[in-house]
Amino acid sequence: MGAKDGPLNEETIAAWRTEGLLDEASSFRGQQRLIVPRSSLRRTAGRLRDELRFDMLIDVTCVDYLAHPRRHEVAERFGLVYQLLRTEDVARLTLRVFVGETTPCVESLVPLWESANWLEREVWDLFGIRFEGHPDLRRILLPEPFRAHPLRKDYPLQGLGERHNFPVLRRGEG
Amino acid sequence: MALELPDQVVVTKLDALANWCRKNSLWPMPFATACCGIELMATGASRHDVARFGAEAFRFTPRQCDLMIVAGRVVMKMLPVLQRIWQQMLEPKWCISMGACASSGGVFDTYAVVQGIDRFIPVDIYIPGCPPRPEQLIQAIIDLQDLIEREGTVEGVEFRLRERQQPKRALLELPVIDGPVRSG
């Protein structure tokens, strides 16, 4: 896989790697992917926005690698995925950040892209990954009293009884 | 004892009169959350024409309705809404659970989907199907009309019968960890 097929050329990749902005770069069928150390996510994303003009954050999502057949290939249990877009030439870029399962936390990208607000809330809601510096980190899909993060692979599909924990209305009451 | 009555006078029971009025003017509350709602709309439209059975006045406020038609899956975030709407409807009121999802959760056996609305609100008629055809919904309305005519009373005492107070089936509960997730 040639890492140069994408918006970042080899010189930039080498320079950024020495600065500690990224760990690894690869590309597959013209789509480039950067693996970024957790500590430098905000810096790398800021450079991508300001120097390479990636002006749009399309999506933030997460993969839980618990019991995944290729778990040994990734450093940590959770892999965050950021999809970036440069609107002037429709160039796309994927950022990956890995976080561990004990108090998973990364820096929020809301200061860079407003669209990160709801996307990060969704990842918090369903995977339980905290975003440091997020202005309003509340659940977005599930009801607020919900305790678990149900897209984690150790959460049972049918839940822990939350769906049946409601009052029963009878005839002639209320 | 024969009683001579003028031609324009009819003698009946008050219960029968109330039932006759109620069954022929059901006002549905369309609680349509999914694809069953499309069939519900088709039932209300001209081809199937539920007006033939006096139930064409769909109202989107529960205060003007006496028949709740739950058409579609109900998730745990929607169930408090469903219960509040049911409580806002005036007595006497009835409920039709339309389709597999409303009756049992359907194929959506996941953490967020309620496995049958009859666990939490009273249901009078169930309609199978995924989604049911409009003819099935019309049949359910006819069956409900028969039910009202058979057991209805002007004071609505039939709703206080013990068998209508019971929840419809046994609740096989999974253990809830960490205390209640949502209180009433």
Residue B70 touches chain A, beta carbons under 8 Å:
no
Check B76 against A169: CB less than 8 A apart. Answer: no
Which residues of A are less than 8 Å from B80 in CB distance? Answer: 166
Which chain A residue lies closest to B174 (C-alpha atoms)?
A161
Chain B CB contacts of A145 below 8 Å: 181-182
Q: Which residues of A touch B176 (CB under 8 A)?
A: 160-162, 164-165
**pTM here?**
0.83
- Examine residue B180 and state whether it is found in any structural domain, yes or no: no
B125 lies in which domain range? Answer: 14-165
Q: For residue B2, tell me if it sits in a domain.
A: no
User: With an 8 Å Cβ cutoff, is B155 touching chain A?
Assistant: no
Tell whether B38 is covered by a domain: yes
Give strand ranges (E) for chain A.
Answer: 24-28, 31-35, 56-64, 78-86, 91-99, 105-107, 130-132
Q: How far is B49 from chain A (nearest CA, A)?
A: 30
Q: Is the dihedral of CA B31, B32, B38, B39 positive or negative?
A: negative
Most B CBs within 10 Å: which of A140, A151, A166, as the mutation test of the B interface?
A166
Per the listing, tokens 């989604």 go with: B131
The helix or strand, by DSSP H or E, that contains position B148, with its residue range, turns out to be helix B134-151
Spell out the per-residue pLDDT of chain B, length 184, in tens: 678 888 898 889 999 999 999 999 999 999 999 999 999 999 999 999 999 999 999 999 999 999 999 999 999 999 999 999 999 999 889 999 999 999 988 899 899 999 889 888 889 999 999 999 999 999 999 999 999 998 888 888 888 776 666 665 545 554 444 544 443 3
Q: How far A159 CA sits from the closest chain B CA (Å)? A: 4
In angstroms, how far is the first alpha carbon of chain A from the final one?
A: 67
What CATH class has A10-164? alpha beta
Contact list in B for residue A162 (CB cut-off 8 A) is 76, 111, 176, 181-182
Determine, yes or no, domain membership for B23. Answer: yes
> Backbone phi, then psi, for A100, in 5-degree steps?
-85, 175
- Cα distance from N-terminal residue to C-terminal residue, chain B: 59
Nearest CB to A147 within list B83, B119, B178: B178
* Per-domain residue ranges of chain A: 10-164
- Tell whether B3 is covered by a domain: no
CATH of the domain at B157: 3.40.50.12280
Domain count, chain B: 1
